[in-house]
Amino acid sequence: MKKYIFSLGILIPLFFGACNSKSPQNEQSLKDGKWRGEFSAKEGIIPFIFEIKKGAPNTNTYLTFINGGEEVISDSVTYRGDSVFIPIKAYDTQFEGVFKGDTLSGVFKRLFADNDKGLPFKAIYGESPRFTAEGTATDTLTGKWDIQFLTDSSSVSNVGIFKQDNGILTGSILTNSGDLRYLEGVIDQNGFKLSAFAGLSPYLVQGKFTDKNNFEGEFITARGKQKIKGQRNDKATLADPYTLTKLKPGSKSLSFKLPDLKGNTVSLSDDKFKGKVVIVSILGSWCPNCLDEAAFLAPWYRDNKSRGVEIVGLAFERKDDPEYVNKVLSNFVQKYNIEYDVLFAGKIGADKTVLPEIDGLKSYPTTFFIDKKGNVRKIHTGFNGPATGLFYDEFKADFNKIIDDLLNEK
């Protein structure tokens, strides 16, 4: 099945007017501390955990999503009466709800989607577990697994990495486009359940063992569900990410000319790139794995730009409206303190026109390594981030070796 993988292409994806950005001391607000929420998806309930933290009096309140070892801080919480608004600028999404004491309920909306009715949710204050275990587990999920999404006609194996500690599960599922971030859940006598939510799409992975080395289950999102199956394999691995995206025969370089956020046209023939090693990242501000890559690239660039390296990000967005593009890309640049060029490349799917040298874009993100002569030397498809442990460490080692080798060339 040919598809773009929008940080997992198998997935996914102000009605009260202006709000005060601060909550006056005498006005009711969400309680500080942990909350447990549930999304009411079509195919099941998907739990998530978040924490509310207030600053000094009359300052902003912030929400932090918690997924295993991951903490994702959202933008500030705002209020109007008993209504609460929690925008998540990174994904152009927002919670809109009503709170009363220890309860909060409402809808989670994708602001980028016209007329989105929202995904219902409710949350209760307190230190409640994400899932409640029933009985003692007789099997273990710890280790590496070959995992298949059974409705994916390509039958490509993905990799599951899980760790089990006193019934609490953590881990992730890796695909050739990226990972499912930090999953957290439980394993008990009935099987296992894991979920994650960081601001775009909630995930639920659940399954039962058919024997100690195999399981069958489901992958559930707000949009629906897919059957999955897993087989234990300590040597499970993905396809080589450097072999999936290729240049067309006869092509050696990229020839784009695109605007930056100030309207200046940028191309690789500009003087600032001559004689330098260049990294070109194909991304979208809406793409979780692209955000993980930016979190790696931004500080890396600050530490290495003096060595003769440049980075250029080519952003394909949901819309081509100038105001929308400026909003989402400005938020993207600000969030990660990006100092390299980020260019608007058009709407999602415009890669065939903007990058005619590529024999089909397979994933967001895709990263090009370009030598001092302007020739593309390697192309890396996808990005598996910190949630993948050793896979992420291996990527960083490979990345730095490629750059070192290209810099050492005469």
> How many Å apart are CA 43 and CA 206, to the nearest integer?
12
Task: Please name which of 240, 180, 243 lies closest in space to residue 7, comparing C-alpha atoms.
Answer: 180
Task: Give me the half-sphere count of Cα atoms (radius 13 Å) on the Cβ side of residue 134.
Answer: 5
Fold of 143-232: Lipocalin (2.40.128)
Residue from 67, 72, 71, 47 nearest 170 by CA: 67
Helix 288-304 crosses helix 322-336 at what angle (to 10 degrees)?
60
Q: Which pLDDT does position 360 carry in this prediction?
A: 87
Give the pLDDT of residue 114: 84
Which 3 state secondary structure label does DSSP give 111? coil
Cα dihedral: 97, 99, 104, 105 (round 10): -40
Task: Report pLDDT digits (tens) over 234-243.
Answer: 999 999 999 9
For 216, residues 6+ apart whose C-beta sits below 8 A from its C-beta are 207, 208, 210, 227, 228, 229, 230
pLDDT the model gives residue 390? 85
Pairing of strands 168-174, 83-88: unpaired
What the block records as the tokens of 121 is 């949710």
Region(s) of the chain under CATH 3.40.30.10: 257-408
Indicate where the chain has its CATH 2.40.128.120 domain(s).
Answer: 143-232
DSSP annotation string for 1-18: ----EESSTTS---TT--
Task: Report in angstroms the alpha-carbon separations of 66 from 34, 197, 355.
Answer: 9, 8, 38
Q: Among 229, 211, 221, which residue's Cα sits nearest to residue 158?
A: 229
For domain 257-408, the CATH architecture is: 3-Layer(aba) Sandwich (3.40)
What phi and psi, each to the nearest 5 degrees, are found at residue 184?
-140, 140
What DSSP string describes 346-365? EETTTHHHH-TTBS---EES
Nearest to 310 by CA among 341, 332, 345: 341
What are the per-10-residue average pLDDT scores of the chain (410 residues)?
Answer: 38 31 53 95 95 72 88 84 89 93 95 90 95 90 94 74 88 92 93 94 96 96 93 94 95 96 95 97 95 97 97 96 94 95 95 93 96 97 90 95 96
Give pLDDT, residue 291.
94
Sequence-distant (6+) residues with CB within 8 A of 323 are none
Q: For residue range 154-165, list pLDDT tens digits in order.
A: 567 899 999 988
